Amino acid sequence: MARLIRRRSGKAGLPPGTPVHVGERKVEELKITLIDYDEEQFQERPISAAEVRPFKETSTVTWINVDGVHDVATIAAIGDQFDLHPLVVEDLSSTGQRPKVEEYDEHLYVVLRMLTCSDESGHVEAEQVSILLARNVVLTFQERPGDVFDAVRDRIRTAKGRIRRMGPDYLVYSLIDAVVDNYFLVCEKLGECVEPLHEELVTAPTPASLHRVHELKGEVLNLRKVLWPLREVVSSLERSESQFFRRATRLYLRDVYDHTIQVIDTIETYRDVIAGMVDLYLSSVSNRMNEVMKVLTIIATLFIPLTFIAGVYGMNFRYMPELGWKAGYPAVLAVMAVVAGAMLLYFRKKGWL
C-alpha cells in the first residue's frame, strides 16, 4: 500500500501564505525557461528569477516555465514580481493538491495533475502542474523537468497552427489540453494491464493475481480522484464569464471538457471491469476448491462401502458359511467391483464426475 497522505506536519502552526515545500523533492536545482512570442517574433531561452519582471509589461505573450518547486525562496521571488496572492505562492510549493481553479482580480490560478504510467506495472505517477495566467504572461510550475508540453512548444516554435495568432488564454487552453490528452495515453497503458490480467483470472488465477487486481483498483481510484475535480475545473473555466478567457477560446475548452468526460467514462469502465474481476477471482477460487473437495469426497465415498464389505468377511464368527466356499473370495471381490461400478455409474449419471 502506497503512503496514504503527504506529510504536512512541518506546516502546522505556520501563518497562512508561508511558502513551505510539501512533498518529495524531485529535482536538484530549480530551472526557469522563457518563451516569448507574438505573431511575428519568437524567443526561447533560460532565464533567472530576477529577469522576469519586464515581461509583465510587454504586449507579447510570455510563457515562463519553472521546473522544481522545492526552492521556496525563488518561487516567492517570482510570485512577488507578478503580485501573486500569498496563498497562491504557498500553494505552488505545496504539492499533492487536488485539481482546482481560483480566480483572483489580477490572475487566474489553475492546478492540474500531470500523470505518467510506467508501461509494465501500470503504476501511475502524478506530478503537480500549476498554471497562472496574468494579463499577457503565463506561468507554469512543475515538480521536475520533463513534461507533456513539448508538442505545444513545437507548435509555437514553428508558428504552425493557430497558437501564434491567439492570445495567452489560448496558450493556457493548449497546456490544459496537452495534460488531458496525455490522460488518454495513461488510460491506454492501464488498459493494457487490465486486459491480460482479466485473461489470467479466467485461465489461471493465483493469489498474486488478486494482489494485482487490488493494485490496479488502487490506481483507478487514484485516477478518479484526479479526474472528477478536473472535470469541475474545466467545466467552470468553460462556463465562467470571466475576463480571462475570450469567447473563441471557450469553445476549445468545451472540447477539453468532452475529452475529460471520455477519459472518465473509460476509467469508470475499468472500475466496473476490475470490480467484476474480484468476483471472478473469488468464484474461480471457490470453484476450484469445490472441485477438489468433490473429487476427494467421491474417492472416500467409493471406498467406504467396499471397506465395510471387507470388514464383514473379516469377522471371526465360527459359523459363516461363505468363508468356507471355494468361490467365496472371488465372489466377494466381484461384488465389490459391481458396487464400485454401480456407484461410479450413478455419480456419472448425476454429473458429479
**Chain centre to alpha carbon of residue 275:** 15
Closest distance to a second copy from the beta carbon of 28 (Å):
28
Distance CA 31, CA 75 (A): 11
> What does the block give as the cell for 42?
519568437
- Nearer to a second copy by Cβ, of 85 and 231: the residue is 85
Closest distance to a second copy from the beta carbon of 29 (Å):
28
- Nearer to a second copy by Cβ, of 27 and 302: the residue is 302
Cα angle vertex 146, ends 142, 149, to 5°? 80
Question: Residues 6 or more apart from 127 whose CB is under 8 A from it?
Answer: 26, 95, 113, 114, 115, 116, 142, 143, 144
Q: What is the dihedral of CA 339, 344, 349, 353, to 10 degrees?
A: 160
Distance CA 73, CA 140 (A): 17
> What does the block give as the cell for 97?
493538491
Closest distance to a second copy from the beta carbon of 52 (Å):
24
- Nearer to a second copy by Cβ, of 71 and 215: the residue is 215
Residue closest to 68 by CA, chosen among 146, 163, 6, 10: 146
- Nearer to a second copy by Cβ, of 18 and 60: the residue is 18
- Nearer to a second copy by Cβ, of 43 and 301: the residue is 301
Closest distance to a second copy from the beta carbon of 198 (Å):
5
Closest distance to a second copy from the beta carbon of 166 (Å):
11
Closest distance to a second copy from the beta carbon of 144 (Å):
20
- Nearer to a second copy by Cβ, of 57 and 105: the residue is 105
- Nearer to a second copy by Cβ, of 51 and 167: the residue is 167
* Contacts by 337-341, CB closer than 8 A, 24 or more apart: 339/305, 339/306, 339/309, 340/302, 340/306
- For the sheet with 124-134, list strands across it: 42-46, 31-37, 61-67, 137-142, 124-134, 108-117, 100-103
How far, in Å, are 27, 69, 86 from residue 10 at the CA level?
Answer: 20, 16, 18
Closest distance to a second copy from the beta carbon of 108 (Å):
14
How far, in Å, are 185, 191, 220 from residue 224 at the CA level?
Answer: 15, 15, 6
